[in-house]
Structure 1
Amino acid sequence: MSLGKFTHGSCGQSSRGARILRGAVSAAAISFAAALVPGSASAQNYSFNRVEVEGNQRIPTSTIANYTEIQAGQPVSAAQLNDAYQRILGSGAFESVEIEPRGSTLFVRVTEHPIINRINFEGNRRIKSEKLAEIIESTERRVFNPGQAERDAATLAEAYSQQGRVAATVRPRIIRRSNNRVDLVFEIAEGGTTEIERVSFVGNRAFSDNRLRRVLGTKQAGLLRMFISSDTLIEERIEFDKQVLRDFYLSRGYADFRVNSANVEFTRERDAFYLVMNITEGQQFRFGQITTVSEIPEADAAEFQAALKVKPGAIYSPTQVENSIARLERLGLRKGVDFLRVEPRITRNDRNRTLDVQFVLTKGPRVFVERIDIEGNTTTLDRVIRQQFRIAEGDPFNPREIRESAERVRALGYFSDAEVDAHEGSSPQQVVIDVDVEEQPTGSLSLGGSYSANDGFGVAFGLSEDNFMGRGQRLSFSASTARDTEEYVLGFTEPYLLGRDLSFGINLGMSKRNSNYATYDWSRAFVNPSLTFPIGEDSKLQLRYSWQQSEMKARSDAVTTGAVTANEIAMGKRNTSALGFTYSYDTRRTGLNPNAGWLLELGADYAGLGGDNEFIRTNAKAVAQTRIMNEEVTLRATFEAGSLHWRGDNHSRVVDRYLLTSDTFRGFDPGGIGPRDQSNGVNDALGGNLYAVARFDVEFPLGLPEEYGLRGGVFYDVGNLWDLKHADLTGGDIVGENGSWRHVVGVSLLWTTGMGPLRFNFSKAISKEDYDEERSFDLTIQARF
């Protein structure tokens, strides 16, 4: 057995192979030199009647003879012999080649490349061998190619570089076996992770380094470097960061923004990198005049102008221009204007830093969609992909709609790659759309941990499949347990019911809660089917039905029970059957101002379609938020209110009424405010039929390095919970039925970690009742691993 060793830069042969190759080169050189000597016999042309080949085992003699391109009886010069030698060697099938003229016979001796018996990887821990085998081109039972082995080594080194291990080295090595076979071994030295020590910017004036770092996917190495992989140097991620930085500035009106360079340098110790991004911000522009003109008679410019939402004076954003074009084209479809094209013509006004936008309505070419061809979807059904297209065969062709459809296909998350192209069909007036996708796994298994002062430490388990049976449906199961709670939920979602933009979902589950704020526990089982569909660009409506069975029980460790609680426990199991809706309007991500937005939710449920309870419950929620001081400070205001109007002949229970938790109103225990029963020496929270809460938050940087992920906050909450109409208060000693307003102030520490967000709240109630249960500290942890 002989061993041949390679380096990363060259693939070496065995000593025997080297000797043969040197001999072959020498023989060719001597023959060629002799041919140049005047008067030498060798200078005469050769003539061969036959070609004899030695050493070949797999490759036929006739194939090698054909490589020489020498015809029997034809004169052959020394230069032609050299060309024949180069052709045989250049075929890549041989380790060495030697040619020797003997009279009228040309002898060719070859040594074939061996067959790869096995491919192994040694030294790899971070990337599994199965994954490495997928990215190389050398394969077992194929001819060994030294050049290909070197290229494979470079590919493997690049794979490690993409994980931030730029010092990784890969050396291919061969182990000779019998019958001209070799084992190909890639010896891998993974090296350590080379982190990005600092990310800094040059040329930024409007936004601080800290604000821009939050935009990038690349992060500085911080306290949690063991858990954060985005603090390593990955070239592709830096290219992506350039694009997202450009999008960030363009969406804020900096039309001349550009990234001049992104320089990466080693630290002095050469164990980390500095990333410096040199940028030019330019001036911020706003929208100037917004006009619409029509070049086609069937489109009324005034009607299309009225459909625009963007107004003069707003910060310029290309996204808003694209949204306006899409809005006008959709209006054209509703008006029956086929082949409508909207061309934005932008006029720059440097003096007042505005951009006038004129939307020109023109007639596009009469081109139709001939067909949509889909390839590569081995699991996903064709209809799931077609649902992302707003056009079908025979519709007018719209390039913008095709681009948006391609983005929707990619956003599904079902495919590792998705390409959508259009080309001419059977005629110039026909277009064929090709969709080429590559499937990827869509199932996930998650194990999580959580902590809250309400429920203590908990464990959550989740199993989901986002593309169930290739139908685009989502099937999930989750289980969570904590000190005082337990819940199991099975969910199913069909996002395109009947092929329309109509989402159907259903949840089935059961939950139990051990109350730590009263002398009772409760459990429930529920079924909640729903339909959700958009009714506008930023709004949607959910229609739902809910059925649940709930029961209250006395706590096993309770010495005594309040009178009102005893009355409600005696009611036993109760069924609730209800119809409801929720309307939501959300501009926080799609509004004209990228730094401001608001959310409005209105909902109502009517119970009484069978079951034991009859009531009307209404809820309202509004959230407004904005960023100020160059987006360093976030202001947020939240308002919530609810009303329960009991209509049945029976009595309501605390599980039917509202109870405020720390998520709704900070500074108090769950059920810590509102009416209470103090009979029999207890202090049971009874909830209420009416509540109203307002929360005001300010979040700001602490001046610490951004990589620590720490921000500060202050908050002020005011709220009330009251009213016990239709409750059985027999024997109770009730306080707080008429309610009173509580006021809470506090500070927060927000820590964004690689395992999940942590929030520490320190609060003080500046206005409360004596019977309230106050909480001055609250910690929430949510982790996934």
Structure 2
Amino acid sequence: MLKRFLLVFCLLLSAVSVGAEGFNVSDILIEGNSRIETSTILAATAIKPGDQVSLEDVDKAMSHIFALGRFADISAELTEVQGAKILTFVVKELPLIRDIQFSGNEELSEEKLRKLVRVRIPAIYHHGKVRSSILDIKDAYAEDGYHAASVEPQLDIDERNEATLTFKVVEGEKVLIDKIRFVGNQAIDGDDLKDAMRNRERWWLSWLTGRGAYQKEELEIDLERIKAVYKDKGYLDIKVLQPEVALIKEDRYFDILIEVDEGPQYRVGTLGFKGDLLTSSEELLEVVSLQQGEIFNRSELHKSLERLTDLYADQGFANANIAPLSNKDKGALIIDLMFDVEQGVKTYIEKIQVHGNTKTRDKVIRRQIPIVEGEQYSASKIKEANRSVRNLGFFEEVNVTTSPGSDDSQKVLNIDVVERPTGTFSLGVGYSSVDRFISQGSVTQDNFLGYGLRLKLAGSISSSSVTYTLGLTDPYFLDTEWTVGLEVYKSEREYDDYDEYRTGGAIKAGHPIAKYTKGYLTYRYE
């Protein structure tokens, strides 16, 4: 071994003395690899037998091998056998991760931490993925208030070069926000500004509720929320500087200082409309909640734009664009608004498509939609469709959207739903002085057979009585607005002197008498 080392050392010195001329390689060998194919490594070297090779070429080849991301160490040896120079790359493979474990995590569950790990087992150890996983875990702890948490990876490698990767967590103490202070706020009280923020100061129940946890990313959004509060009070030139966040009280708490430059307060100047007007400017101004001379309020401006857009959309102009052109007079401290309207092309509903209803019949959903195919587009009717389908109670999610139709004047109305369980099953046991032990059970289904029928089956049994009830209600009988229901029941009860048997039923019918009111008539026979 010593002789070979000296020979390698001498040949490398000889190669250095050759300089740019290099040496001719007769063969290239790979040693130390077990999982990675030799052909893969040779392809990465870009050196072939018979090539004239310099030390720079060898260095590049080693870099290319390392770039494969599969090796912990790489070295190169040059040997001479009967005058032929052989270049050998000796590699040490990274271990194969067979298992991932965690230690020291008490505040965050292992299930949550596993979702943050970017290494999927079995996999070759990857430094970049492990570093990214550590950052994600530390971020998760920071979001929970543990900003001093540290994470270290530990590899336990066996003789087969297979390893268990353990993320060793030191959580540290939870760092909460002690104080949020403001400088420069004259017009708005600091408590009102705090109410707009998601970052909150700690309180005496923080140990239970988690309130006071410092959220760095959320703080950036909080600055925009503070600006929004000022702009709703007419302070359009508001500036909120980057906050100063400092650790206080032996690094146990955060102190946040936010400096604001309020600027002047603006009032509403003139209001007007131009462009494609559905009606007179005076009538359109009735939709706008801002009034001349009042303090400017940005939220009210946005609400006014929504109402104006809905007004046009209810007349079929689904793509109406209403832009508020503002002119800010810093001398008079007023802001003039001119609403520029482009109504676009009048649109119609070309098709109504329902997706995701694996159980519920199409007609159950379609009868909740107050707009039909071929009808003029209406924003208020589409909102009503969204609300009505949700109120069925059959779906976890309801999304009502529109997409382009066959041309600019056509829209496709899409109803996307996600079904949820609509049945319930209950069992109960009770005790009374009359019936002693009572067993009760019921089965209900609010969407029986997918037709929107409501089915109920209930019964109770005790030592002296038995009761059964069966009911079925159709809220849209024969696809009309009539609600028709049928209920039958039977009961038996034993008394000391006699036995009582009851059999009966009821029929009820209902019909809307107002938009959200329905009247019922019930006939019961026993």
Same fold judged by TM-score > 0.5?
yes
- C-alpha contact (below 8 Å) 2:74/2:89 kept by paired residues: yes
Q: How much does 1:234 deviate?
A: 1.5
Match of 1:57 in 2: 34
2:149 aligns with one of 161, 168, 179: 168
- Pair 1:124–1:493, CA change in 2 (3 A): farther
2:334 matches 1:354? yes
Q: How much does 1:189 deviate?
A: 1.1
SS of residue in 1 equivalent to 2:207 = coil
Superimposed CA distance per residue, residues 662-682 of structure 1 (whole angstroms, 9 cap, x where no aligned partner): xxxxxxxxxxxxxxxxxxxxx
Q: Which amino acid aligns with 1:273?
A: F
Superimposed CA distance per residue, residues 669-727 of structure 1 (whole angstroms, 9 cap, x where no aligned partner): xxxxxxxxxxxxxxxxxxxxxxxxxxxxxxxxxxxxxxxxxxxxxxxxxxxxxxxxxxx
2:185 matches 1:204? yes
Match of 1:627 in 2: none
1:256 aligns with one of 237, 242, 247: 237
Q: Which amino acid aligns with 2:333?
A: R
- Pair 1:334–1:397, CA change in 2 (3 A): closer
Q: Which amino acid aligns with 2:123?
A: R
Match of 2:310 in 1: 330
- C-alpha contact (below 8 Å) 1:28/1:99 kept by paired residues: no
Match of 1:464 in 2: none
Q: How much does 1:71 deviate?
A: 2.8
Partners in 1 of 2:419 and 2:14 — Cα distance?
75
- Pair 1:164–1:81, CA change in 2 (3 A): same
Partners in 2 of 1:378 and 1:432 — Cα distance?
21
1:134 aligns with one of 106, 115, 120: 115
Partners in 2 of 1:247 and 1:545 — Cα distance?
52
Match of 1:90 in 2: 67
1:47 aligns with one of 2, 5, 24: 24
Superimposed CA distance per residue, residues 307-356 of structure 1 (whole angstroms, 9 cap, x where no aligned partner): 51414144433333233233233333443456432221122233453322
Structure 2 gap segments, 5+ residues each = 387-392, 428-440, 459-470, 477-481, 487-505
- Pair 1:29–1:81, CA change in 2 (3 A): farther
2:471 matches 1:471? no
Q: Which amino acid aligns with 2:419?
A: R
- Pair 1:151–1:509, CA change in 2 (3 A): same
- C-alpha contact (below 8 Å) 1:261/1:279 kept by paired residues: no
SS of residue in 1 equivalent to 2:201 = coil
Superimposed CA distance per residue, residues 221-279 of structure 1 (whole angstroms, 9 cap, x where no aligned partner): 11212222121111133233223323333333332233212221011421111012222
Q: How much does 1:370 deviate?
A: 11
Match of 1:80 in 2: 57
Match of 1:723 in 2: none
Structure 1 gap segments, 5+ residues each = 1-23, 407-411, 438-466, 480-487, 499-503, 511-525, 532-542, 548-574, 585-602, 613-785
Match of 1:664 in 2: none
Match of 2:102 in 1: 121
1:640-651 to 2 correspondences below 5 Å: none
2:208 matches 1:227? yes
- C-alpha contact (below 8 Å) 1:299/1:361 kept by paired residues: no
Superimposed CA distance per residue, residues 179-224 of structure 1 (whole angstroms, 9 cap, x where no aligned partner): 1101101111111211111111112122222222222222211121
Identity %: 22
Match of 1:622 in 2: none
Match of 2:467 in 1: none
- C-alpha contact (below 8 Å) 2:180/2:255 kept by paired residues: yes
Q: How much does 1:174 deviate?
A: 0.6
Superimposed CA distance per residue, residues 651-670 of structure 1 (whole angstroms, 9 cap, x where no aligned partner): xxxxxxxxxxxxxxxxxxxx
Q: How much does 1:113 deviate?
A: 0.9
Q: Which amino acid aligns with 1:471?
A: E
- C-alpha contact (below 8 Å) 1:372/1:432 kept by paired residues: no
- C-alpha contact (below 8 Å) 2:269/2:336 kept by paired residues: yes
Partners in 2 of 1:431 and 1:41 — Cα distance?
78
- Pair 1:93–1:432, CA change in 2 (3 A): farther
1:367-406 to 2 correspondences below 5 Å: none
Match of 1:317 in 2: 297
Match of 1:300 in 2: 279
- Pair 1:210–1:304, CA change in 2 (3 A): same
Q: Which amino acid aligns with 1:67?
A: A
- C-alpha contact (below 8 Å) 1:528/1:544 kept by paired residues: yes
Aligned length: 443
SS of residue in 1 equivalent to 2:419 = coil
Partners in 1 of 2:143 and 2:318 — Cα distance?
48
The CA RMSD measured in Å over matched residues stands at 5.6
Q: How much does 1:114 deviate?
A: 1.1
1:191-590 to 2 correspondences below 5 Å: 191-294=172-275, 296=276, 299-302=278-281, 305=284, 308-312=287-291, 313-337=293-317, 339-364=319-344, 470-471=418-419
- Pair 1:378–1:53, CA change in 2 (3 A): farther
Q: Which 10-residue stretch deviates more, 239-248 or 112-121?
A: 239-248
Q: How much does 1:369 deviate?
A: 11
SS of residue in 1 equivalent to 2:123 = coil
Q: How much does 1:606 deviate?
A: 7.2
SS of residue in 1 equivalent to 2:242 = strand
TM-score by length of 2: 0.67
Q: Which amino acid aligns with 2:72?
A: E
Q: Which amino acid aligns with 2:278?
A: A
Q: Which amino acid aligns with 2:48?
A: Q
Q: Which amino acid aligns with 1:77?
A: S
Partners in 2 of 1:47 and 1:378 — Cα distance?
72
2:163 aligns with one of 153, 169, 182: 182
- Pair 1:99–1:236, CA change in 2 (3 A): same
Match of 2:434 in 1: none
Partners in 2 of 1:179 and 1:378 — Cα distance?
53
SS of residue in 2 equivalent to 1:300 = coil
SS of residue in 2 equivalent to 1:99 = strand
2:15 matches 1:67? no
- Pair 1:68–1:393, CA change in 2 (3 A): farther
- C-alpha contact (below 8 Å) 2:71/2:91 kept by paired residues: yes
SS of residue in 2 equivalent to 1:155 = helix
- C-alpha contact (below 8 Å) 1:218/1:237 kept by paired residues: yes
